[in-house]
Amino acid sequence: MELKTQVHAEDGKQELTITRQFDLPLELLFKAYMEPEIVEQWMGTKVLKLENKSHGSYRFETTDPMGNKHLFHGTIHEFELNTKFTRTFEMENTPFPVQLEFFEFERLGENSSKLIMHVIYKSLEVRNQILQLPFKQGINMAHNRIQEYFTKS
């Protein structure tokens, strides 16, 4: 059986691609990224700011089970409704450099669509470190671990 979500991280390249097929019409998939209330529901985050336009920006805040707040933000470079957007992504108060993310949306059928997320990191080392974050506990917990990880190494 083919996996619905696939991650392609080619050896020696400072980038990766995440693809996912959804049993959703393209417009609904795109809406999931546009409407702050909906983003909050599936990402489990608070949307402080979300400007869906070229030269816009966004800022999200998540609270981990320990009650710590973590902030994420970036700039939206281009935005084309139901087609694509390009943004930067940065975790605040972590040593991780900003990353560049290309989101492309494709219609596969009336009720199916595809998302291609292409992420470019500052270096191959950064990409591999991100891949090694403790994702099992979720990204919020990961945030705390990142500090540990870097103070150790």
Per CB under 8 A, the list member of 64, 83, 101, 134 interacting with other proteins is 134
Nearest Cα to 61, choosing from 46, 39, 75, 41?
46
How far is 42 from 107, CA to CA, in rounded Å?
Answer: 21
Q: Please, which residue, 8 or 55, has the CB nearer to other proteins? A: 8
Instruction: Establish if 146 lies at the interface with other proteins (CB under 8 A).
Output: no
Per CB under 8 A, the list member of 17, 34, 38, 102 interacting with other proteins is 38
User: CA separation (Å) from 30 to 34, 76, 128, 139?
Assistant: 7, 15, 29, 22
Q: Which segment (48-56, 59-67, 68-76, 128-136) binds other proteins by CB under 8 A?
A: 128-136
Q: Please, which residue, 1 or 42, has the CB nearer to other proteins? A: 42
Instruction: Establish if 63 lies at the interface with other proteins (CB under 8 A).
Output: no
Instruction: Establish if 7 lies at the interface with other proteins (CB under 8 A).
Output: yes
Instruction: Establish if 20 lies at the interface with other proteins (CB under 8 A).
Output: yes
Residue 70 CB burial class (10 angstroms; 0-12, 13-18, ≥19): buried
User: CA separation (Å) from 153 to 29, 89, 91, 127?
Assistant: 40, 24, 19, 16
Q: Which segment (10-18, 72-80, 83-91, 145-153) binds other proteins by CB under 8 A?
A: 10-18
Q: Tell me the torsion sign for CA atoms 75, 80, 82, 86.
A: negative
Structure-token pair, residue 63 = 């609270």
Q: Which residues bind other proteins (CB under 8 A)?
A: 3-7, 9, 11-12, 18, 20, 22-25, 28-29, 31-32, 38, 41-44, 115, 124-125, 128, 130-136, 138-139
